[in-house]
Amino acid sequence: MPIEQRERTLVLIKPDGIQRSLIGEIIRRYEQTGLKLVGLKFLIPSEKTVKEHYLSNEGWLKSVGEKSMAAYEKKCLKSPYQDPVKCGEDVLGRLIKYLTSGPMVVMVWQGNEAVGVIRKISGGTEPLTSDVGTIRGDLTIDSYALGDTDERAVRNLIHASGSVGEAEKEIKIWFQDEEILKYRLVQESILYDVNLDGILE
Ligand code: GDP
Ligand code: MG
């Protein structure tokens, strides 16, 4: 299989997505792109797995802390944190509470530019500012302001890997190699075939 067809990304439908009855709608949007679903699970994650998931990306604690502190400044508020890593640790604590609160759907999608395509459809992290037409922009209403006021994680329905490197690490946390299925989708000949010479009789 050519290299571009092998790119993989991890998607979690977080507990709010399940409770809002959005499993079908979210999968529909990803499925319609032509990407191939190669892994699928329904589970309640352990605290250990969630921690491993976020800490698998080196520097995540600091960068998420910096992002969160900058969000306060943008609103002309003073962040209660001085140290981005400490702030990141608190964001992680809130995410653990959020993700272990109920069942989640865990998926691997595969195909050309899978990471970028899935991120585009998912939308930006904060639902308030995610683009119209994206899952986070269309299907929910949370904001950092509300999450921070209530000292909880922003409820944004999904997680999607941010890069190919992130995806590779994250997939290993949620799936054994043999749980990722290798199969052909009929539509792949339309998406990827160079000559499209198999259509006419
Ligand atoms: P994603 O890749 O778009 O999901 O976002 P990140 O990996 O940067 O952040 C992961 C999670 O951390 C998000 O889903 C949020 O719950 C939380 N988070 C990220 N940035 C901020 C922020 O600026 N403020 C707050 N309060 N939480 C944040
Ligand atoms: Mg991320």
Domain CATH number, residue 159: 3.30.70.141
Pocket of ligand 1 (CB under 6 A): 64, 67-68, 71, 91, 95, 125, 144, 147-148, 153-154, 156, 159, 162
Read off the pLDDT band of 178 (50, 70, 90): very high
**Burial of 23 per CB tally in 10 Å (0-12, 13-18, 19+):** middle
CA of 145 to the centre of ligand 1 (A): 13
Q: What is the pLDDT of residue 3?
A: 85
The pTM score is 0.95
Q: Which of 126, 142, 129, 110 is nearest to 30 (CA)?
A: 110
Q: How many domains does the chain have?
A: 2
Q: What is the pLDDT of residue 152?
A: 97
Query: Where would I find the H helices in the chain?
Result: 15-19, 23-31, 47-55, 60-74, 84-99, 114-122, 135-139, 144-149, 164-174, 188-192
Q: Tell me: do 118 and 51 sit in the same domain.
A: no
Q: Tell me: do 110 and 151 sit in the same domain.
A: yes
Q: With H, G, I as helix, E, B as strand and everything else as coil, classify residue 149.
A: helix
Q: For residue 95, give its domain range.
A: 46-101
Tokens linked to 155? 């409820």
Residue 2 has pLDDT above 90, yes or no: no
CA of 192 to the centre of ligand 1 (A): 34
Please identify, by atom number, the ligand 1 atom nearest to the C-alpha of residue 98.
Answer: 16
Tokens linked to 145? 């302001």
Residue identified by tokens 């990471």 is 115
159 flagged as catalytic: yes
